[in-house]
Structures are given as C-alpha cells and as structure tokens.
C-alpha cells in the first residue's frame, strides 16, 4: 500500500443528472459521498501495490455506502485514477469482507468525476465497493470515516480478511432505484412496466369495450387513453453556499407512468452582463419521479450564474417546466438569497 499527499486541483463539475432526495420508500436514493465536491488540495490518497478492493467500513450519515432498502443500482460515480473497474456488492463482519455479487467490467467516462451506467441488484444492508488496479489512486482521506483494504480481487461467495486503512475510503456514490416486480431492472429508468416482471417495455393497455344493446348488433368501441396529469414544480430554494437551486417536483399519484422532463430557471428580466443587458438562463436539469413521489431537482450553478446572486438580496426569476408528455409551463418566482456566511 502506498500513501502519498498528492496536490490535486479539481474543477467543480456541475452534475447534469438529477440527484433525487427520496420522500417515499419507493423513490430512488443515492448512497455515498457527493463526488461532485472535490477533496481539498493536498488531500492524501491511497494506491494499492497490487489490484485491490478498498472498503468503507464506517462513515457519517450521508456518506456511507450501505443500501437502506432493496433495489437495483443503475448509476455509479467515483473519483480515482482508473477508468476500467467492476462494481462489487459486499457485506462486512468484524474485519472480514464477504463478496456477494459482481457487475460486469465497465469503462467509466473520463475526467475528475468518472461515471458509468449499471444494472446490479442490491439488498438492504449490503454495501458497495469498486475494484481498483495496481498503482492507481483509489481511496481518499475523509474525516470521520474508517476504511479497510482487501489486497486481492476475490471471487463471489468468498470471505476475505481485510487490513486497516485509517480514514481512507473509496470516493464512490451509487444510485439505487426500486425494483417492485423483482425483474432486476430499475423501475425509474430501466423498466417501463414495473408492475410486470415479464417485460420492461410499456405496459399493455387493455381496450375499453362497450356493448350497445340491440336485437342482433354488438358494437365494440376502443377509447383512447386520457392524457395523464403532468408534474408540478414546487417553490425553488437557493442553497446556503449559492452553488445550486433546489426545486421540488410533484408527480401526481394518479399517473400510470413516472414523470419525466426538464426544469430550467432564468432571470425574469434583463440583467447587465458586460456592456449589455440580457435575460440569463441560470441553469437547467432533467428529472424523473415516480407517481406519488416528490423528489428534488437540484440545478447546479456555474460561476457566472452565482455572480448574479447577491447575498441577502432577492432575484426575480422565470421557472419553466417542460414535461416529456405534456405542455410546458412557466411562472414568475422571487428567489430569496441567503446572506453570505461569515
């Protein structure tokens, strides 16, 4: 094991996907640290001499990599010097690590934040880990955490002893979607018919048959399905650090399919940018919400957008919601900007 205080300058990258905060048991949930926030400069990292599996044994709330409920992992984000890896589902007991199931080899996107799509079941209480190749940064020093290291790449259904890493843990997060029909596909992005385990295509809609009374005539009428009720955007709120704007997305429980679409925010009137005055789009984000849930769409703000948010002031904005299966709506809102922290 090699430990080195590498100086790293990471550009803060805005996440393009919606980070869901579950309000119900059947909503997607993300576990692990927020990898979009880079570690401080000169943060020590760990690189294994041989291929290994770093494991987070304990971590504060919001950083731990333990599944709170059954589901399917559909997306993984991490920081590290390696692009090819495998997702490992594990359990721990004392200092031992039991390897339960393994995803296929994946090649992640390049950049400080690496990501790949996944489809791997996980059960409540199981944990997430990544395989790491030799001599590549794979674990970061995080306050309040305890990490351990398995110095091999074990097969599934085996238990291995681990060695201590101190406050070094893998900088990994995973998105877990519910899987109501237990078909191994995430209900929000991978399964268009979550109530039927035999298909992931849209559910079959039975025709409505109306029989018109008469001596010998029976007429069959197929009625078109009504347009489902669309999502509603709640009241936006600016984060205390002014790096993002959160907007609740209300998906009606009467919908037969999840709500999907895009939310964008722009200044309600022209603002001065350089020598001109123009209306500025502060940002946008896509969303997916299960019927009856109220996840939060988090719009990451660029440095230019944050420059328009004066601490302690108000800013009039236009909030636009564009559902995938319905008409777009927009309305005027007033953002109350938090005061600059001391």
Which stretches does DSSP call E strand in 103-179?
106-107, 114-122, 127-130, 137-141, 146-150, 158-161, 163-166, 168-169, 172-177
- Find out whether 74 and 189 touch, Cβ atoms under 8 Å: yes
Backbone angles phi, psi at 304, to 5 degrees: -65, -40
How does pLDDT run across 128-185, given as a tens digit for each residue?
999 999 999 898 988 889 999 999 999 999 999 999 999 999 999 999 999 999 999 9
pLDDT value of position 185: 95
Distances (CA, A) of 21 to 175, 177, 232, 268: 11, 12, 16, 28
What stretch of H or E contains 304? Answer: helix 303-306
Q: Which of 137, 148, 135 lies closest to 114, judged by CA?
A: 137
How does pLDDT run across 188-198, given as a tens digit for each residue?
999 999 988 89
pTM for this model (two decimals): 0.55
Backbone angles phi, psi at 243, to 5 degrees: -95, -10
pLDDT value of position 8: 33
How far is the C-alpha of 241 from the C-alpha of 338, rounded, in Å? 8
Q: Which of 285, 283, 263, 274 lies closest to 331, judged by CA?
A: 263
Domains recognised in the chain with CATH numbers: 2-8+16-177 (no CATH), 232-336 (2.60.40.10)
How far is the C-alpha of 226 from the C-alpha of 224, rounded, in Å? 6
Distance from chain centroid for Cα 80: 19
Strands 45-47 and 2-4: antiparallel
Taking 70 as the pLDDT cut, the residues of the chain under it are: 1-26, 212, 214-226, 341-342
């Amino acid at each position: 094991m090699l430990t080195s205080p590498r100086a790293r300058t990471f550009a803060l990258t805005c996440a393009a996907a919606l980070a869901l905060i579950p309000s119900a048991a059947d909503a997607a949930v993300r576990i692990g640290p927020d990898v979009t926030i880079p570690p401080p400069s000169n943060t020590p990292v760990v690189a294994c001499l041989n291929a290994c599996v770093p494991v987070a044994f304990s971590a504060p709330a919001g950083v731990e990599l333990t599944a709170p409920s059954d589901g399917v992992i559909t997306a993984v984000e991490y920081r590290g010097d390696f692009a090819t890896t495998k997702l490992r589902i594990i359990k721990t007991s004392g200092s031992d690590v039991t390897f339960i199931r393994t995803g296929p080899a994946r090649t992640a996107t390049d950049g400080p934040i690496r990501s790949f799509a996944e489809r791997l079941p996980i059960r409540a209480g199981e944990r997430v880990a990544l395989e790491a190749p030799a001599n590549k940064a794979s674990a970061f020093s995080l306050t309040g955490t305890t990490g351990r290291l398995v110095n091999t790449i074990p097969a599934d259904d085996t238990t291995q002893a681990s060695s201590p890493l101190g406050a070094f843990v893998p900088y990994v997060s995973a998105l877990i979607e519910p899987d109501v029909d237990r078909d191994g596909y995430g209900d929000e992005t991978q399964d268009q018919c979550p109530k039927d385990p035999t298909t992931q295509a849209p559910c079959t809609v039975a025709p409505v048959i109306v029989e018109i009374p008469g001596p010998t005539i029976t007429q069959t009428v197929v009625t078109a399905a009504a347009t489902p009720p669309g999502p509603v955007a709640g009241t936006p709120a600016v984060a205390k650090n002014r790096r993002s704007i959160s907007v609740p997305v209300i998906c009606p429980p009467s919908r037969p399919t999840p709500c999907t679409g895009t939310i964008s925010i722009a200044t309600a009137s022209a603002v001065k940018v350089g020598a001109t005055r123009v209306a500025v789009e502060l940002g946008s984000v896509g969303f997916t919400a299960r019927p009856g849930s109220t996840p939060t769409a988090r719009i990451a703000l660029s440095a230019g957008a944050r420059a328009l948010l004066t601490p302690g002031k108000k800013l009039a904005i236009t909030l636009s919601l564009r559902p995938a299966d319905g008409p777009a709506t927009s309305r005027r809102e007033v953002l109350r900007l938090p005061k600059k922290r001391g």
